[in-house]
Amino acid sequence: EKGGYAHFMAKEIMEQPEAVRKTISPRIRDGRVVLDDLHLTADYVRGLSRIFIIACGSSYHVGVVSKYSWEKLLRRPVEVMLASEFRYCDPLVDEKTLVIVISQSGETLDTMAAMREARRRGGRTLAIVNVVGSSIAREADDVLYTWAGPEIAVATTKAYTTQLVLMDLVGLYLADLLGTVEKPAYEAILSEMQLLPEKMQGFLAHTEDIQYFASRYFNHDSIFFIGRNLDYAMGLEGSLKLKEISYIHSEAYASGELKHGTISLIEPGTLVVALGTYAPLFDKAMSNVVEVKARGAEVLALTTEPFRERMEKTADATISVPETHPMLQPSLSVVPLQLFAYYVALQRGCDIDKPRNLAKSVTVE
Ligand code: M6R
C-alpha cells in the first residue's frame, strides 16, 4: 500500500507532480482558467468589499501565501485568519464578503464552525477541499476540489501543494473577472504553471544533497526559518513540517523582524534555514544571510538555480530548486523543506506517518 516506500509521507511527496497535474490540467483550456463548478458572476466579484481566507495548520499557511499573491493580482484587501480565531472574533462579514475556506479533510471542526459563522453573517463561502463529499464540501456555497488523492500521512504534503496551485488558479480567475491582471502576465503565469509538474519531477529525481544535509543537521535542537514575502509564508510551512514530525523546536520569522527581537536567539552554531527563492527580494535575502552569519549562525540556504552561485559564497550549505514565476515559486520551493523534515525525522527515529499527539483530521475543538 505504500508503493515500495518506507512511509506514506515519502510516497505522498513523490506523488506531488502527478497530484499537481491532476489539479490544474482540467482547469486550463485554450490558455484560460476554466472553473466550471464555480458560480460567481463578474458583477458579484466586482461588488466585493473584502475577501477572507480561513483555515487551520498547513491549510492556513496556504492562505498566507495566497494573501500575498491575491492582493497583488486583485488589488483588493484579502485577510487571512486562523479558523479558531475567526469564529470568536465577531468577524466583519456581510453580503459583500467572500470567505474562502481551505481544508484537506473537509472535516476540521474549527474550519467548519468558522464557515457556518461566515454564512450566518451573510457571507458567501467557497471551499477548497480534498476529500470529496466531506462535511465542509457539502455545506459550502461553492466547492473546488484539489485532486491530490487520499493523503494518509498526518503531515500534509501533496494536499498542501495542490491547495497552493488551486488557489493560484482561483486568484487568476478572479483577477481576470475584475480586469486587474494584464494579458501577458496572465499568460506567463499560466504557462509556467503547466510546467510545474515536470520541474517538480526533475527536482525529485535528485535529492541526495537534502538527505546529506539532514544527516549533518538532525541533532540541532532549535532551528529558525527566515524569509520575506512568499518565502516567509512558505517558511511557516517548512517550520511546521519539521516540528510536527521530528519534534525539533523550530520557528519561522519574517527576515525583517530579526532585528526586532529574534536575532538575540542566534548564537554560534544555531541553524538558520534561509529562504531566498522569491526572486524580486533575493538581494534582501542575501543581506539577512550575511547578518546571521555575522552572529555565528550555521546557514542552510534555499534558493533557485539562477541564484545558486551567489548564495553559495556566503551560506554554509545551499539547496537549489528550479525557477518558475515568482508567484508560483512556493509550490516548488516547499518540496525540499518537506524532504528535509522527512529525512531529519528519519535520522531521529521518529514515527513519521503518525507523530505523537496528532491526528490526521481534527474534529474536536
Ligand atoms: O484537513 P485540514 O486541511 O483542515 O487540516 C488542517 C490541519 O489540521 C493540518 O493542515 C495540519 O496542520 C497538518 N497535520 C500539517 O501537516
- pLDDT tens across 50-84, in order? 999 999 999 999 999 999 999 999 999 999 999 99
The preferred substitution site among 362, 363, 364 for testing ligand 1, maximizing ligand atoms within 8 Å of CB, is 362
pLDDT at 121: 98
What's the sign of the alpha-carbon dihedral 248, 316, 343, 164? positive
DSSP conformation class of 66: H
Checking if the pLDDT of 337 tops 90, the result is yes
Query: Does the C-beta of 9 come closer than 6 Å to ligand 1?
Result: no
Of 33, 193, 54, nearest to 115 (Cα)?
54
Query: Does the C-beta of 57 come closer than 6 Å to ligand 1?
Result: yes
Ligand 1 atom nearest 136 alpha carbon: 4
Centroid of ligand 1 to alpha carbon of 99 (angstroms) = 19
Report d(CA 328, CA 69) in Å as an integer.
9
Ligand 1 atom nearest 358 alpha carbon: 14
The preferred substitution site among 62, 108, 152, 162 for testing ligand 1, maximizing ligand atoms within 8 Å of CB, is 108
Query: Does the C-beta of 59 come closer than 6 Å to ligand 1?
Result: yes
Name which residue sits closest to atom 14 of ligand 1, judged by CA.
155
> Once rounded to an integer, what is the mean pLDDT over residues 251-256?
96
Maximum pairwise Cα distance, the chain = 57
Checking if the pLDDT of 261 tops 90, the result is no
Unique residue bearing C-alpha cell 481566507: 53
pLDDT at 31: 94
- Tell me the per-residue pLDDT of 206-248, one tens digit each, with 9 for 90 and over: 999 999 999 999 999 999 999 999 999 999 999 999 999 999 9
Name which residue sits closest to atom 9 of ligand 1, judged by CA.
57
Centroid of ligand 1 to alpha carbon of 58 (angstroms) = 5
**Could you tell me the CA-to-CA distances from 108 to 113, 156, 214, 298 in Å, in that order?**
9, 14, 32, 38
Centroid of ligand 1 to alpha carbon of 172 (angstroms) = 25
Active site residues: 360
> Once rounded to an integer, what is the mean pLDDT over residues 192-199?
98
- Tell me the per-residue pLDDT of 110-160, one tens digit each, with 9 for 90 and over: 999 999 999 999 999 999 999 999 999 999 999 999 999 999 999 999 999
> Once rounded to an integer, what is the mean pLDDT over residues 92-110?
97
φ, ψ of residue 195 to 5 degrees: the values are: -90, -10
Ligand 1 atom nearest 360 alpha carbon: 14
Strands 97-103 and 124-129: parallel
Centroid of ligand 1 to alpha carbon of 199 (angstroms) = 26
pLDDT band at 262 (very low <50, low <70, confident <90, very high): confident
Query: Does the C-beta of 155 come closer than 6 Å to ligand 1?
Result: yes
Report yes or no: 60 and 82 within 8 Å, Cβ to Cβ. Answer: yes
φ, ψ of residue 185 to 5 degrees: the values are: -70, -45
Report d(CA 80, CA 53) in Å as an integer.
5
Which string of DSSP letters, residue by residue, matches 230-276? Answer: HHHHHHHHHHHHHHHHH--EEEEEEGGGGGGTGGGG--TT-EEEEEE
> Rg of the chain's alpha carbons, rounded to an integer?
20
Name which residue sits closest to atom 11 of ligand 1, judged by CA.
57
Centroid of ligand 1 to alpha carbon of 288 (angstroms) = 30
Report d(CA 165, CA 325) in Å as an integer.
12
Of 149-158, 257-266, 271-280, 296-305, the range with the lowest mean pLDDT is: 257-266
Centroid of ligand 1 to alpha carbon of 23 (angstroms) = 19
Average model confidence (pLDDT) for the chain? 97
Amino acid at 306: P
Query: Does the C-beta of 156 come closer than 6 Å to ligand 1?
Result: yes
- Tell me the per-residue pLDDT of 150-171, one tens digit each, with 9 for 90 and over: 999 999 999 999 999 999 999 9
pLDDT at 252: 97
What ipTM, to 2 d.p.?
0.99
> Once rounded to an integer, what is the mean pLDDT over residues 328-345?
98
In the sheet that 142-145 helps form, which strands lie side by side, from edge to edge? 78-82, 50-55, 97-103, 124-129, 142-145
Which ranges in the chain belong to alpha helices (H)? Answer: 8-14, 16-24, 42-46, 57-74, 83-86, 109-120, 135-139, 158-178, 183-204, 208-217, 230-246, 282-294, 308-312, 329-347
